[in-house]
Homo-oligomer: A and B are copies of this chain.
């Protein structure tokens, strides 16, 4: 077995674990009215941000989050070996068009809303192994660009069922480096695509929960760790119902995570903000990690977390053709002292 594997799906980064040396988060107006507002670097006054389309506004947020993460670390684009980016739009055009502006060697990823931890999962071993010094990881989503692509034109005013989730408008980024100060990525657990046969695109938390449970379980089995080894276990955007399902699925496997388990999709909006089950989108776990969680780590309030962004991997055409919704979750363990 290769030397940095723990068996199963987990890497243990011990050579030169990447440090998260800077972080940036930008969110839309609604997110700026939520409970985490104070943690975000920037809140837009309106979701079009002076651009001609929502897609261009999303792209501008992506670029801004990337540049802000660089500025905070006093780095220039040419200091960065790779940009890993992803988003929800067809052909991930937010990430690719942003990469064009940034001019950094680019790998585009698609893991739906699991993209944030996917970027970090791929970047981390490159730094640990001495293949990169600085890797920028950024993802974005936009409520309006996602709604019109995946669901209905907003102008139709289609009613949303209680299990529906609200795509976060925002972009979040972290800069991983071989040197500098910041919490470390110590473990990477790569997800499998899991599908329990659910088909309701307005109930994606349920479709993703089995993948979240599967990856968290794999992480515990591979590392010999359990819930008590983490101050916080975090998922990306399972929202209210998906979160409960994940707790139940893991209880069946003998792991009780309930007292230290949060889902970014449940944290970013107030109940009163009428988002139904909670939030979703590539930006959901990206901005909650970059804005809120890493700040809590900086402040010493939490020291070790496991975060698994979660993605629903369907498309319009697979749903139209009667396919169910596969899910995936990639987990990274982050701790304050290496």
Contacts and interface: CB of A to CB of B under 8 A. Distances in A.
B129 A192 contact: no
Given A91-B90, A313-B91, A192 B125 contact: no
A89 B317 contact: yes
Contacts of A313: 91, 93, 96-97, 100, 108
Nearest to A56: B321
B105 A192 contact: yes
A195 interface: yes
A132 interface: yes
B129 A129 contact: yes
A3 B16 CA distance: 12
Contacts of A11: 131
Interface string A41-85: 000000000001101100000000000000000000000011000
The CB with the most chain B CB atoms within 10 A, among A103, A132, A315, A328, is that of: A315
A86 to B, nearest CB: 8
Contacts of A96: 193, 313, 326, 328
Contacts of A5: 81, 131-133
A318 B1 CA distance: 45
Contacts of A316: 90
A194 B118 CA distance: 24
Contact of A323 (B97, B191, B321): B97
Contacts of A213: none
A279 interface: no
Contacts of A162: none
Interface string A258-278: 000000000000000000000
Given A9-B105, A106-B193, A122-B107, A130 B90 contact: no
Contact of A107 (B99, B118, B126, B195): B118
Nearest to A92: B110
Contacts of A133: 1-2, 5
A28 interface: no
Contact of A321 (B52, B107, B121): B52
A186 to B, nearest CB: 14
A4 interface: yes
A285 interface: no
A91 B128 CA distance: 30
Max chain B C-beta neighbours (<10 A), residue from A107, A127, A328: A107
A109 B55 CA distance: 21
B100 A326 contact: yes
Given A5-B81, A82-B190, A108-B111, 20 more contacts: A2-B131, A2-B178, A3-B130, A5-B132, A53-B321, A86-B110, A89-B317, A91-B318, A93-B315, A96-B313, A96-B326, A99-B326, A103-B192, A105-B191, A106-B191, A107-B121, A110-B110, A125-B126, A125-B131, A129-B130
8 contacts: A11-B131, A52-B321, A91-B110, A96-B328, A97-B193, A99-B193, A100-B194, A108-B109
